[in-house]
Amino acid sequence: MLTAKECLHNAEVCLALAHQTKELHARGALLEWAYEFRTLAKYLERDERKSMVRDLSPVHSERAAQ
């Protein structure tokens, strides 16, 4: 599974390639991929933060110890 950091990197690669190509269809597809990677990164970052908060929660820690 990709991490948020990897998704952001992939988005940057897609943007760089989109700016390099002269083919309009390829540019459009690469820009769409960049958007999708950024969107996925946002979701993954949110999930990673929720997971960290849950893991640090005293209630969660108490339940895990039982």
The per-residue pLDDT for range 31-52, each reduced to its tens digit, is 999 999 999 999 999 988 888 7
Instruction: Give 12-34 pLDDT, tens digit per residue.
Output: 999 999 999 999 999 999 999 99
Indicate if the pLDDT at residue 2 is higher than 60.
yes
pTM: 0.75
Q: What is the pLDDT of residue 59?
A: 64
Helices (H), the chain: 4-20, 24-56, 58-65
Concatenated DSSP letters of 28-39: HHHHHHHHHHHH
